Structure 1
Amino acid sequence: MRIIELKEVMANLEVMNDSEFNALGMATTKFNNERVLAFFSDEKYLEAILDNKNIVALITTKQIYDKKIIPDEYGLIISDDPKLQFYEIHNKLVENEFYWAKFENKIADTAVISDGAYIEDHSIVIGENSVIEAGVVIHSGSIIGDNVIIRSGCKIGTNGFQFLNDGTKVISVKTGGRAVIKDNVEIQHNCCVDRGVLGGDTILSKYVKLDNFIHVAHDDIIGERTFITAGVKLAGRVTIGEDCWIGVNATISNGITIGNNCKITLGAVVTRSVPDNSTVSGNFAIEHSRFIDFIKSIR
């Protein structure tokens, strides 16, 4: 889509330079090959924006634009409130099926779906030999692979928790992405898996196992063979690597990255990213041996 085409749904846009984009995101968002429209309202993020080669277009203020610090090749929209404009554009794009188009449900003949489950009427895929138990709700925008088991009480493809407080009112940010559950995943009872918000996907990779009462927020990505035990809360945009163990009632803050082969012990509150092959404990979580030393020191 080109920036100038946005004027068809938002006539008040002030477009200074046209460009083609196919995703929305932020300077710190991880992308593959997308061409991204982002907002830029604080000069301290200039370096991060310029370093992110996926960002090709910006919504910025007249004050920043006049300083000529943005390279000429970027698409540009001028706004008094770039962040608010960004989310208003996003909401319009969701309404116009920019991120994904509706389609008829595709449910494999071998899938076993309880009469007590509720499946919305469009844009759902359920693969071969998957089992959907009674009391499960599958929302549109859910892509479920083969040999998946979803136990009773789970909600899949729910709206992400994303709001914008502009100082006078609170704006609800529409959920534009999907929930993707890959082959051989098992989700125990009463879990909730949100869809991605900005058109990206919440992803549970192959052989992921979720225990009871787990919340997986929008845009989370969970690597293959990772086990997440009961009561864990994952905030938005969390990335967890392969072969990890997340202990009972652990909480992982938004935007955190957990490396491969990591262990998060029970009740840990993780507020910083964790490198590969690490074990962390405590509130706030630190390397496990340091945590044990601290506990010994206060006895």
Structure 2
Amino acid sequence: MLLLSELLEKLDKTLIYQIENEQDFQYFALTESDLSEPCCVFLDNPKFVSTIKSNVKMVLTTKECAKELPNNIHFGICILEKPRIVFFQLHNFCAENNIYEKEVYQTSIGENCKISHLAYIAPNNVKIGNNVIIEEFVSIKEDTEIGDNTIIRAGTIVGGQGFEFKRESSKIVPVAHCGKVKIGKEVEIQYNTAIDKAVYPWDVTEIGDFSKIDNLVHIGHAAKIKENVMVVAHAGIGGRTVIKSGSWIGFGAILRNGIIVGENSRANMGAIVSKDIADNEAVTGNFAIEHKKFIEKLKQED
């Protein structure tokens, strides 16, 4: 378990902060994160007070936001000037100094796999099932699991560092990616696709059973693509996006981070999706709206 006061002392002895009702925790997480373990989050906007879950034990926050908290809070608080920046500094510090607990095991490869000698498979923390095909110039990084009968075509990178950066004064600082990637059974991932690992050690980027991912697709950190989903070439899936089973993401569609795409839904070709898509709904356009409304509007303009 972690104590915020001990971490802050190691991080920066000159940092000014005030801790009230300190409690220990296991992980760093965002307020909307779905996990049961005790965690520490940051709050720099009062509108997110209601998203703080019961498993939160410590909150990094500002003096102004602290005033918006209810009187009967179940967590401790740490008041400081820049909670968001310090939160990610602490996360990076834990990653760089092996403070996060991590199991290390030798990579295992199942039976009847066909893996090109030109592919890279990390020597540790990779599990590959049976009958898996991995073509040339594929890179499988640590903390990746691949299910039976899955095909990964040439040039794809699985489990790489994602695009998450924070501005600190005059610098742009990368955020460490410490999570995992889990690819189900009978998945096909085609050429030159990138699948980033999750940011936090408790989290995972997921590709569900039977899903198919086309060429040149980007799947951001901690995205959850469920079963029987198809994602067409040049699509971009933002981090923490959830795409539920049976859905279709069209050619060149862009999905912003953190949205939910319902079951058996469609983001049509070129859609710029900035909000959730309901079950069985199709959206079109920039910004994407329900497909029938989009067509009706086009007819009105003719």
Same-fold call, TM cutoff 0.5: yes
Cα displacement string for residues 42-99 of structure 1 (whole angstroms, at most 9, x for unaligned residues): 32322222xx223222112345557774645313333221111110111122221516
Aligned match of 1:235: 238
1:120 and 2:119 matched = no
Structure 1 position 250 matched with structure 2 position 258: no
Other-structure match for 1:17: 21
Of the three residues 138, 141, 144, the one matched with 1:139 is 141
Mapping of residues 1-299 of structure 1, within 5 Å:
1-4=1-4, 6=7, 9-10=10-11, 12=13, 15-29=19-33, 31-49=34-52, 52-62=53-63, 64-65=65-66, 69=70, 71=72, 73-95=74-96, 96=98, 98=100, 100-199=102-201, 200-299=203-302
Tell me by how many angstroms 1:241 deviates.
Answer: 0.4
- Note closer, same or farther for the CA distance 1:261–1:98 as it changes in structure 2 (3 Å cut): same
TM-score (norm 2): 0.90
Distance 1:289 1:20, change over 3 A: same
Task: State the one-letter code of the partner of 2:28.
Answer: L
Question: Given residue 173 of structure 2, which amino acid in structure 1 is its aligned partner?
Answer: I
Q: Given that residues 8 and 90 in structure 2 are in contact (C-alpha distance below 8 angstroms), is that contact kept between their aligned partners in structure 1?
A: no
- What is the distance in 1 between the residues matched to 2:206 and 2:62? 34
Matched residue SS, 1:289: helix
Between 93-102 and 132-141, report the one with greater CA deviation: 93-102
Unpaired runs of 5+ residues, structure 1, are none
Deviation at 1:2, TM superposition (A): 3.0
Secondary structure (helix, strand or coil) at the match of 2:49 reads helix
For residues 158 and 44 of structure 1, the distance between their equivalents in structure 2, rounded to whole angstroms, comes to 33
Most deviating of 146-155 and 167-176: 167-176
CA distance in structure 2 between the partners assigned to 1:276 and 1:230 by the alignment? 23
Q: Deviations over 1:223-269 (max 9, x none)?
A: 10011111111111111000001111111111111011101111111
- Cα RMSD of the aligned pairs, angstroms, is 2.1
Q: In the superposition, relative to structure 1, how do residues 186 and 61 fare at CA in structure 2: closer, same or farther (>3 Å)?
A: same
The amino acid of 1:285's aligned partner reads A
Q: Give the Cα separation in 1 of the matches to 2:135 and 2:64.
A: 56
Q: Cα distance, 1:41 vs. partner?
A: 2.2
Q: How far off its partner does 1:190 sit?
A: 1.0
Structure 1 counterpart SS, 2:11: coil
Work out the CA distance in 1 between the residues paired with 2:265 and 2:68: 45
Letter in structure 1 aligned against 2:296: D
Q: How far apart are residue 283 of structure 1 and its match?
A: 1.1
SS of residue in 1 equivalent to 2:166: strand
Deviation per residue, 1:90-128 (Å, 9 max, x gap) = 112222151633322122243221101011222211111
Residue identity in the other structure for 2:139: V
> Mind listing any 5+ residue stretches in structure 2 that lack a counterpart?
none
Equivalents in 2 of 1:69, 1:194: separation in Å? 37
CA pair 185-17 structure 1, distance change in 2 beyond 3 A? same
Task: Give the partner amino acid of 1:174.
Answer: A
Tell me, in whole angstroms, the C-alpha distance in 1 between the residues paired with 2:293 and 2:62.
Answer: 46
Check conservation: 1:93, 1:99, Cα contact below 8 A: no
Alpha-carbon distance in 1 for matches of 2:129, 2:159: 16
Cα deviation code 1:110-169 (max 9, x no counterpart): 322110101122221111111111110111121112111101110110111101113432
* Between 19-28 and 5-14, the greater mean CA deviation after superposition: 5-14
Partner secondary structure for residue 274 of structure 1:
coil
Instruction: Quote the sequence identity (%).
Output: 32
- Looking at structure 2, the residues matched to 17 and 61 of structure 1 have their Cα atoms a distance apart, in angstroms, of 16
Question: What SS class does the counterpart of residue 57 from structure 2 fall into?
Answer: strand
Number of positions where the alignment pairs a residue of Structure 1 with one of Structure 2? 296
